[in-house]
Amino acid sequence: MTLGSPIGGTQVSEAPQSPIGFESSHSTKASRQKKGKVPQMRRASRRTQSGSNIAYGHCLEPDWLPHVDAIIDVVSDGNCGYRCIASGLGLADVNGWRIVRRRMYDEIIGYEDLWREVLGSSFETVKNAMHCPEKQEGASFKEWLTLPDMGLLVSTAFNVILVNLPHGSASTFLPLRSTPTSSLHNRLIIAMENERNIHWVRVQLRVNAPLPSLYPSWDRYVEDCAKGWRDGFVFRDIAPIATADHEATIHVVDLDTP
């Protein structure tokens, strides 16, 4: 499946990273992935440079946990949001995040009238965040990927279903212009969660998991050809889980090579 139009003549095809799933115990040992090695399972936490531990998934609503297979971590360099998108697209190359930012920039410039209307006063801020100098490595705060304001831009630029899973306000973004594929299985879903508002991780949802409610602006700006993107999916708030003591261990695929 080709995602969106070619970037510089290169097709972006679906080839997502392999997820690592839930286990019934919190005691699984694992090691961090090193460059050139196969990702390994490890505990759903990360030790920062300051020595503190960050437990992944703590920002997820508990009712979402039964619908999650894995959390996929990426480098924390200011480009983590773009790296999550690149990972979901199967762009495993270290420069995948650059492709994502460049494609989003091309989208917002190529359809400027549309995005000025969609983004309103945020247009210039979002456009400037997409600018990516060739030699730039890390990204400043003003260049971070932010949701929900960039959600429709991501889904439209790559023809994907983007799911944002913040605590209390989860939402789904669909493309605004493209005709969807007839098969639901060929519609790529990329879900993300922001840890403590400073680091994005990718969330691998289970097959047939429900999706959160549609982002309200989609109905306002979607073209007729793209309205079929919502067909066949269940968009709803997640119902409370059956047992109050439900507990699951999220294992992380740690893509820690810049």
State the pLDDT at residue 43. 33
User: What does pLDDT average to over the chain?
Assistant: 74
Pair type for strands 53-55 and 45-47: antiparallel
Distances (CA, A) of 238 to 22, 188, 192, 235: 19, 21, 16, 9
What are 105's two structure tokens? 């920039």
User: Coil, strand, or helix at residue 257?
Assistant: coil
CB atoms within 10 A of CB 36: 6
pLDDT digits (tens, 9 = 90+) for 216-255: 999 999 999 999 999 888 787 654 443 334 444 444 555 5
The pTM of this model reads 0.74
pLDDT in tens, 181-205: 877 777 889 999 887 778 899 999 9
**E strands of 12-52, at which residues?**
45-47
- Provide the token pair at 88: 């979901």
For the chain, give every domain's residue range: 45-255
pLDDT bucket at 138, cuts 50 / 70 / 90: confident
Closest alpha carbon to 146 in 113, 119, 110: 119
pLDDT of 90 reads 92
CATH, domain range 45-255: 3.90.70.80
pLDDT tens per residue, range 33-86? 334 333 332 334 443 333 333 456 666 777 888 888 888 888 888 889 999 999
Contact by Cβ (8 Å): 32, 40: yes
